Each structure stands twice: as structure tokens, then as C-alpha cells.
Amino acid sequence: MTILVTGGLGYIGSHTVVELLQNNFQVIIVDDMSNSEKFILDNIEKIGGKRPVFFPFDLRRKELLSQVFDAYEIDGCIHFAAYKAVGESQEKPLDYYENNLFSLINVLQEFKARNISNFIFSSSCTVYGQADKQPIDENTLLKMPESSYGKTKQMGEEILKDYAIAYQKKVSLLRYFNPIGSHPTALLGELPIGVPNNLVPYVTQTASGIREKLSIWGNDYETPDGTAVRDYIYVVDLAKAHVKALQKLMNEKSETLIDVYNLGTGKGSSVLEVVEAFETANEVKVPYQICERRAGDITIAYANPDKAERELGWKADTSLEEALRTTWEWQKYLQTKN
């Protein structure tokens, strides 16, 4: 089976490509390297034992995309390619709508034209906004996200539902909670470009001295220690869920299918708990200061991941500390590279 992985050199994509290779899928990557680097391809090969076919172009270039489909018989797609910075999406909404939606539509047009099914979409817990109750299951009402980025995820889901119904296709919408960590080999991880917005890259860079101090955005939330709570999922566990979701789509007899899964651990951790777990796992200190709340942040979000366990036979079982240990190894690897 040959799988197109868009954004396959990115953070979650690269880990998923390794899992696909280890499960004997052929992989074709399209990635324009707008948020990734070529050495990741070499590292994927080192871990996975095979070099995926790689095309470095922007998915908005329809003619190039069409040529890939002409050249290879593709059986499915995992679509990671998107811009993902929440704050930047507020400053450049058109760039986000254009990239995230047109890239998706272009791949779907090829799928429709060539009658290919099996499409997996990287969605996000951001589609739930501040849910009325925790943990969040898949039936929870979706609220309009605050950011343009979040809206592209909600719109992407709607496009895929219409597409699946109109053209009798199988799709899987995977709503990730907060992915963290790196590959145990320390050869893959999240590439920090500029000042990180996300918690774990900021913690890691603070521990290594690149940043002076972590700012904890608010300790007056209604949570046990006052800091906000999220569901941090280890990226390798997350990558494995994609293989399971793909296998389920491929084995499904019905022509039309819309699967929706929350991918999280089911456990909420506060910002302070993450800092402490990082310090314990790596025996390093993370200096921090308490600041005002960050605009747009919600108090608490963690998944009910039971549906994924029941239907995919998948469960995230790596501990927070273990995930944070791999992050630190990746940081050290990046420093040896520079």
C-alpha cells in the first residue's frame, strides 16, 4: 500500500512516516519545507530503514501534485500539511485560510478524480474551544474557535464530511490534544523556529539556557494549582494512532465512512505539573515567573480517548515524564548539530 503523507517532514508527520515504514507501507512525502528541514528525511531513513520518495513543493501547485498522482498508484493519504501557529494566524488570516484550505482541497480533488478513498486529516482539540464538561468526547458540541488557525481546522472537517458523503469516500478526522516529545532515537522532534509559543518547547529552551525564564500564563484559573490544564500526548503514541486509523479505513467495507477520534491520554496536567515533571525527568531546573493570563487561553481541556481505544485498539501509554525526557534528548541533539 502506498500512502501520500503531506507535511511528512514536519513534527508529527515525520514520526508517523517512521511508523508507516515500520508497518511496511510505501511512503511518498510532499512537503514544501516551509516549517521543516531536509535532514529530517535522512533521519527518517536512519530509523525506518527505507528512504521515502520525497517531493519538495507547495501543495497549492496543483499541476505538480497531479504529476505525483500520475506517477504513483496511491492508496491513501495522511494530510498533515498546514500552517499551525495560532498567534500568527491572527496576524495573517488569509495566508492560513489559503494554505490550510486550498492544500486540502487540492489533494481531495485528486482523490475524487482518481477514485481513491482513505483520507486522514490532522484536526485539533481546538475545534472544541472551552468545552462545557471534561473530559471531552467526540460528541461534545463544537464551538467556534477564537483563532483563524482553529477555524481552518473546523472548516477542514466540514469540507471532508461533505466530500465523503457526496463522493462516497472514507475519511478519518483525528483531533489531537497537545502533542509533545521526540523520537526515542533523538533523531526526530519539533523544530523550534523563532520564539516558541507552545509550552514544552519553551520549557526545553529555558532549561538549556536559550531562554532566560518561562512565563507561566496565569495561576488564577479554577484548577487545583491555579495553572491551566491540558492533555499532553506523546508524539510517538500519536503517530501510531495514524497507522491504526488508516488500517481501519482500509479494512472498512462500506463505501462512505466518517470516523472521528480524539487522540489524547485522558489525563489533564497543569502547567506547573509539566514544569515539575520536566525537572524530575531530566534533573535540570526550569526558572519561571507567574504572569497574566494569555489572551484566548482556555482553562482546561483533556480528552476522553475511549472511542479510539474501543474502535482502533489504540491507547496512549507513555508517561508525561518519559515524553519530556525524549524532548530533552532532542534538544541536546539539536545543539550538537548547530
What are the catalytic residues? 149
Residue 296: C-alpha distances to residues 35, 109, 293 (Å): 24, 34, 9
Instruction: Specify the DSSP element, H or E, that contains 216.
Output: strand 214-217
Nearest distance, CB of residue 123 and ligand WQD, angstroms? 8
Compute how many residues bind ligand NAD; rule: CB under 6 A.
Answer: 27
> Is the Cβ of residue 57 or residue 217 nearer to ligand WQD in the bound state?
217
- 206 interacts with, out of ligand WQD, ligand NAD, none, CB within 5 to 8 A per kind: none
> Is the Cβ of residue 56 or residue 226 nearer to ligand WQD in the bound state?
226
DSSP string, 22-50: HTT-EEEEE---SS--THHHHHHHHHHSS
Does 178 sit near ligand WQD (CB under 6 A)?
yes
By CB under 6 A, the residues from 113 to 142 that bind ligand WQD are 124, 126
Q: Tell me how far apart the terminal alpha carbons of the chain are, to the nearest angstrom.
A: 37
Does 276 sit near ligand WQD (CB under 6 A)?
no
By CB under 6 A, the residues from 80 to 109 that bind ligand NAD are 80-82, 84, 99, 103
By CB under 6 A, the residues from 196 to 235 that bind ligand WQD are 197-199, 202, 214-217, 228, 230
> Is the Cβ of residue 76 or residue 179 nearer to ligand NAD in the bound state?
179
Three-state secondary structure call for residue 104: helix
Q: For 151-187, what is the HEC assignment?
A: HHHHHHHHHHHHHHHHHCCEEEEEEECEEECCCCCCC
List the one residue out of 103, 199, 101 whose CA is nearest residue 153.
101
Contact positions vs ligand WQD (CB under 6 A): 84, 86, 124, 126, 150, 178, 197-199, 202, 214-217, 228, 230, 271, 294, 297
